[in-house]
Amino acid sequence: MSLKKQATIGFVWTFAQQFGNQLIGFVVSVILARLLLPEEFGLIGMIAVFVAIGNTLLHSGLTKSLIRGEDLNAEDYSTVFYFNLIASILLYIIIFFLSPLIAEFYEQRILIDLLRVYCISFIISAFSAVQLARLTKFMDFKTQTIIAIPSAIVGGVVGISMALLGFGVWSLVWSSVISSAVNSTQLWIYSKWTPEFSFNYEKFKFHFNYGYKLTLSELLDRIFSNIFLIVIGKYFSPAQVGFYTRAETMKQLPVSNLSNALNRVTFPLFVSIQNDEVRLKRVYKKLMQMVVFVITPVLIILAVLAEPTFRFLFTEKWLPAVPYFQILCITVI
């Protein structure tokens, strides 16, 4: 199969997964936005930066090295698997003991329990990070689509059911945790790979030397993207954090659908031509042009129609999020 055909098929399946997830997530978020208060979304927004940092530390480094690596064997995958698992447990322990300080910083005591439950997903995701990396490396995006959509549906049903039963902010927490658990379980079933009882220090050094650079880069990006939530959460009410996160979520709909789909396909694609620098730059430039060409008019239209859109989808209680959304659309462009 040619590189172009392989990339096209991969993009179609990845976009199907991304669009399916976003559509399900969007419908679920609209329902939850009508059932829950902005303050409850704001509480989740306050811990978003810590969740983002945790996920970055676990997923952006060594697993990317596996996707990039050539001539890998079972020891490579097993070594990264055990490191991810141990790292996720240590990270959860750190969050567990730091949660009272975080709650004190925001003056929201409920954040202690929210963080301790929400971040269980770190350990759940670590169990299947290597399986996901293998599917990406072999550009098996069809299987990833088959896995991701049921996970989103189950998580959404749990969240809506709990919201209807009056669980408030906990419906958002358990929706995420259950979705991660269903996704991880399916990755074990579909990937047909299990780790061996081995850990090779030399292979760990090889993957770490490549992965830590990506981790640091992604970490800076995550902190920058979420720093506003720390400031808003500290000096303003949870409701204002909720309005900002709602605007951010809406802005991410067109951006995530395209950019995430492209990122997942193009990384293994670029790996296959990593030794041809001229071709690599040419392909990268074309992709950048395509992203700007598609995203710009979509965001302009959304910014113009922001107020009636928010009124129709989320009711008037979410209208204070409109100015945030319009500014974020401009910044994305």
* Residue from 313, 272, 309, 265 nearest 291 by CA: 265
Percentage, residues of the chain above pLDDT 70: 89
The mean pLDDT value of the chain amounts to 86
Query: What is the mean predicted confidence (pLDDT) over 263-275?
Result: 70
Residues 6 or more apart from 1 whose CB is under 8 A from it? Answer: 9
Task: Please state, in angstroms and as integers, the Cα–Cα distance from residue 175 to each residue in 131, 136, 172, 285, following that order.
Answer: 22, 25, 5, 38
Confidence band for 26, pLDDT divided at 50, 70 and 90: confident
What's the domain range around 320? Answer: 3-332
Task: Quick: pLDDT tens for 280-317.
Answer: 788 888 888 888 888 889 899 999 999 999 999 999 99
Confidence band for 2, pLDDT divided at 50, 70 and 90: low
Residue 247 confidence (pLDDT) above 90: yes
Domain count, the chain: 1
Task: Quick: pLDDT tens for 115-130.
Answer: 999 999 999 999 998 9
**Alpha carbon 283 to chain centroid distance?**
25
pLDDT confidence of residue 10: 56
Among 44-48, 56-60, 189-193, 262-266, the least confident range: 262-266
Confidence band for 260, pLDDT divided at 50, 70 and 90: low
Residue 113 confidence (pLDDT) above 60: yes
Give 320 or 21, the one with higher predicted confidence: 320
Residue 8 confidence (pLDDT) above 70: no
Confidence band for 55, pLDDT divided at 50, 70 and 90: confident
Task: Quick: pLDDT tens for 142-197.
Answer: 788 888 889 999 999 999 999 999 999 999 999 999 999 999 999 999 888 889 88
DSSP state of 312: H
pTM beyond 0.85: no
Residue type, 145: T
> What percent of the chain is helix, strand and coil (3-state, nearest 5)?
85, 0, 15
Query: What is the mean predicted confidence (pLDDT) over 4-9?
Result: 57
**Alpha carbon 9 to chain centroid distance?**
22
Residue 265 confidence (pLDDT) above 90: no
